[in-house]
A and B are shown apart, each in its own frame.
Chain A
Amino acid sequence: MNELVFFINNVVISGLTIGSIYALGAVGITLIFSILRFAHFAHADLMTLGAFFAFFLTSLFPAAGPAIGLPTAFVMLPLAMALTALSAVYIDKAFYKPLRSHGVKPIVIVMASLGVTLMLQGLIRMFMGTSARSMYIDDRKGIHRIELPFELANRPVVLTDPQILLILLLIVIVIALHLFLTRTRLGKAMRAMSDNPDLARVSGINTDTVVKVTWIIAGSLAAIAGTLLSLDVSLKPDLSFHLLLPIFAAAIVGGVGHPYGALAGGFVIGFAETLSVFNWAVILRPWRDYLWFDLPANMAFVSSEYKITVPFFILLAILVWRPTGLFKGKVL
């Protein structure tokens, strides 16, 4: 039974956590990809920026969290989301919109987004330094140890506050996003524009508003993902570096332009990563007497230094066999 608990802790819970983070990022990527038609490389840095805003607010009001009983950074999340969304809108206005109105090829905007990546990284490190920081200032990370009601399981399932909050928040976001995209005028306008921008424009949709709303949604989701990830681990300025490839892989696996596909893609990539670095020898150990080979101490598919290869090869595989993604997205 302890092996099962180990599996739950190391695969189910961490896969759900990292999958949710990837999903939140990938939804933003896929919305920008389908409405503005370029791969937004600065997205992972928007996540870092959001986390940085949350950290900044936390250090301003360190007592806000304990008063309510939640992590302070989580209490500050709405403000951080607003700030990140605002930054995203202004970054678009300053750097991408002039290029768009010049009618350049989309790939030039991709380059500009790499330029924005560097600028954000430089700024964040200038203000925050290059070392990792804890998001907890006046409070501590809540860790829940859940004892399983079985006799053989003497190890607890471990869940942390940020993980619970992340998963709850993700459910709320999915429902809200679904309602927004299917029930409101603006959501329908967004879908129309992602299907055919010219047709949307001639039928009287204000494309500027749609673009702005896209950035607001993408920026807020990025802030949530960044903040909760750094609450769960720690706030590192090079957070984005480990996120960029997985979230792009998630968006493409799900099918570009498909928010639900991006959610699924995020979990596919998240679980693929955790399953491939998981040490399968632990699961097999109870049966070691019946195996025809000697059980090695470590039987992970990929050692954790090469974790980045997992999203990469999933990405390549999907590009070879099904470039539209699992959910029949666009091949732009």
Chain B
Amino acid sequence: MLMKLPMKETLLMVALAVAVLLLIQVMGTAYGVRVLVEASCYAIIALGLTIQWGYAGLFNAGIMGFVALGGFSAMLLTFPVNQSFWESELSGELGMAFLKLFAAIALVAAVLQLHRLSVPRSIRVPIILMVLATLYLWVVNGFAPVSQSIVSQYGFIGGFGLPVWAGWLVGGVLAGGVAYFIGHICLGLRSDYLAIATLGVAEIIKAFLKNSDWLTRGTLTVSPLPWPVPGAGEVGFVMARSLYLSVTAVLIAIIFYLLHRAYNGPWGRMMRAIRDNELSSSAMGKDVNQRRLEVFILGCVLMGIGGAALATFNGIFDPNGYLPLNHTFLVWVMVILGGPGNNLGTLFGAVFVYVIWVMSEPVALFILNSISYLGDLWFAWEAPSDFTSRALQARVFTIGLIITLVLRYAPNGLFPEKVQHHH
């Protein structure tokens, strides 16, 4: 049978190709490839969101946190080893602090099992609270002196010097672990609560990465992170970035293929059934919360991997660089504009929105400079000194406007989800 190409999708893809070519033409090949690599990293993150929102209808408002965890893992695992720190006594002390932490976790887990000994609730709760507070102070006071002397003597503990793929993989695992913790608590409740909790956890992850100087160097940032392919110094900017792009493209192809299979398989059918009618699918014996937890974790794993790839490409780990606007809402726009639940649409959305996002900064600056120039010329109006920093806020406004307008006028996005009907 001949495959008929759908008109609208083809046109949109052609438009995207033209936009990318235009970008490369105007800004130069090296810059264009760089934008494409970043867009491909965002595409991995967006695929993670599209399975959460499109397959299962879960609202994740804290993508930034999972992306930052991925970046952190890429930094910690792949950055060269800080020999002088590991040979000093401080590494042993740090190990002791971690031992204290593990012991405290084990004790808490044990105390939480008190109900098995049929201890009455009125005694159990105060005991648990007391133990929690004491252990918390014990662990915190164990870490404080060690981390202070690490910062003052060695800067930070350095990385583990492992290969890049290990950093990306662990990034996914870390993000998945946090997702399990949050999802386990919130998924049984109303969907709004998940949004609030993810929003909070993202800020906490950022605060942790920013303030743990001994682990991440905090605001001093860590660079350069090693690449999985030869760097620009060996083969030139364009070639190095193209090689990187081929790595992320292969990664996307694998993820895309697996997600496609999952979507059309029994698992995807079940997820859509749960999304569209929770009551009837739970009546059919599907464990709704368990399935949601599955898909939430899977999505966050992809976000972690994407975040790791992004940080490795940028070559720098800067906790302050993670912003809700760039790492949560931009991804949202990519997914809802491209078409939630449609992987191809999500890929399209990721590249399209990212290219526009990158271009919008010089365009906005150009327009505003013209405005202030003309204003000065015609009305002798002097622009305020922070005019450009204010003017860039127009992008924030625009992202918000796009989200609300797409939700209202094109809730299925440009590439609506195609559900196969079997007659």
Instruction: Show the binding face of A for B, using Cβ within 8 Å.
Output: 33, 38-39, 41, 95, 98-99, 102, 104-108, 110-112, 114-123, 125-127, 129-131, 244-245, 248-249, 252, 296, 301, 303, 305-306, 308-309, 311-312, 315-316, 319-320, 323, 331-332
Q: What are 30 A-B interface contacts by the 8 Å CB criterion? A: A39-B192, A104-B411, A107-B192, A110-B191, A110-B192, A112-B403, A114-B403, A115-B403, A115-B407, A118-B329, A118-B396, A118-B400, A119-B397, A121-B396, A122-B396, A125-B393, A126-B394, A130-B389, A130-B390, A130-B393, A245-B196, A248-B196, A249-B196, A301-B136, A305-B207, A305-B211, A312-B197, A319-B197, A320-B185, A332-B192
Does B237 count as interface, using CB distance less than 8 angstroms?
A: no
The answer for the CA separation of A116 and B384 in the assembled complex, in Å, is 26
Residue numbers in B under 8 Å from A309 (CB-CB): 204, 207
Which residue of chain B is the closest to A106 with respect to CB atoms?
B192
Is B227 at the interface (CB under 8 A from chain A)?
Answer: no
B408–A118 touching, CB < 8 Å: no
| Contact between B407 and A130, CB atoms less than 8 A apart | no
* A106: min CB distance to chain B, Å: 7
A118 touches B399 (CB 8 A): yes
Complex Cα spacing A117 to B189, Å: 24
Do A245 and B397 contact each other (CB < 8 Å), given the known contacts A107-B191, A110-B59, A252-B193?
no
Which residues does chain A contribute within 8 Å of B186, judged by CB atoms?
A: 319
Cα separation A185 to B137 with both chains bound (whole Å)? 53
Choice from A102, A121, A312, A320 contacting B200 with Cβ under 8 Å: A312
The verdict on B421 contacting chain A, using a C-beta distance below 8 Å, is: no
- On whether the beta carbons of B400 and A122 are closer than 8 Å, the reply is yes
Q: Is B404 an interface residue (CB 8 A)?
A: yes
Pair B397/A123 contact, Cβ less than 8 Å: yes
Q: How many angstroms from the CA of A27 to the CA of B402 in the assembled complex?
A: 30
Contact B61 A315 (CB under 8 A): no
Given A119-B397, A309-B204, A315-B196, A126-B189 contact (CB < 8 Å): no
- Tell me whether B394 and A38 are in contact (CB under 8 A): no
Within 8 A of A (CB), among B380-408: 384, 386, 389-391, 393-404, 407-408
Nearest Cβ distance between residue A330 and chain B, in whole angstroms?
9
Q: Does B238 contact A (CB under 8 A)?
A: no
**CB closest residue in chain B, given A96:** B404
Asked whether B195 is an interface residue with its Cβ less than 8 Å from the other chain, the reply is yes
Q: Are B397 and A308 in contact (CB under 8 A)?
A: no
With both beta carbons as reference points, the residue of chain B lying nearest to A320 in the complex is identified as B185
Residues of chain A within 8 A of B402, CB atoms compared: 115
CA–CA, A107 to B195, complex, Å?
9
CB pair A115 B401 closer than 8 Å: yes
Contacts of B307 in A (CB 8 A): none
Quick check: is B199 within 8 A (CB to CB) of the other chain?
yes
Q: Are A111 and B394 in contact (CB under 8 A)?
A: no
Interface 0/1 of B355-378, CB less than 8 Å to A? 000000000000000000000000
Residues of B within 8 A of A249 (CB): 196
Instruction: Tell me which residues across on chain B come within 8 A of A123, comparing CB atoms.
Output: 393, 397
**A99 contacts B408, CB within 8 Å?**
yes
A176 to B399, CA, bound (A): 39
In the assembled complex, how far is the CB of residue B57 from the closest CB belonging to chain A, in whole angstroms?
7
Which of A107, A127, A311, A332 counts the most chain B CB atoms within 10 A? A107
Q: B296: which A residues are within 8 A, CB to CB?
A: none
Q: Is the CB of B190 within 8 A of A332?
A: yes
Q: Which B-chain residue is minimally distant from A126 (CB atoms)? A: B393
Knowing A130-B390, A305-B211, say if A119 contacts B400 (CB, 8 Å): yes
Q: With the chains together, A306 CA to B144 CA distance in Å?
A: 14
* CB-based closest 3 A-B pairs: A122-B397, A118-B400, A115-B403
Q: Shortest distance in angstroms between A144's beta carbon and chain B's nearest beta carbon?
A: 34
In whole angstroms, how far apart are the Cα atoms of A118 and B395 in the complex? Answer: 9
A131 to B390, CA, bound (A): 10
Closest Cβ of chain A: how far from B201's Cβ, in Å?
A: 7
Chain B nearest Cβ from A311, distance in angstroms: 8
Instruction: List A contacts of B191 (CB < 8 A).
Output: 105-107, 110
Q: A114-B403, A119-B404, A252-B193 are in contact. Are A125 and B332 (CB under 8 A)?
A: no
Do A111 and B393 have beta carbons less than 8 Å apart? no
Beta-carbon contact of A323 and B396 below 8 Å: no
The interface residues of chain A lying within 8 Å CB-to-CB of B329 are 114, 118
Contact of B325 among A98, A118, A301 (CB under 8 A): A118
6 further A-B contacts with Cβ under 8 Å, apart from A107-B195, A122-B396, A311-B200, are: A106-B191, A122-B400, A306-B204, A306-B207, A306-B208, A315-B196
| A147 to B389 Cα, complex, angstroms | 46
List A contacts of B407 (CB < 8 A).
Answer: 99, 104, 108, 111-112, 115
B203 within 8 A of A: yes
Please tell me if the beta carbons of A308 and B403 are within 8 angstroms of each other in the complex.
no
Q: Are B57 and A129 in contact (CB under 8 A)?
A: no
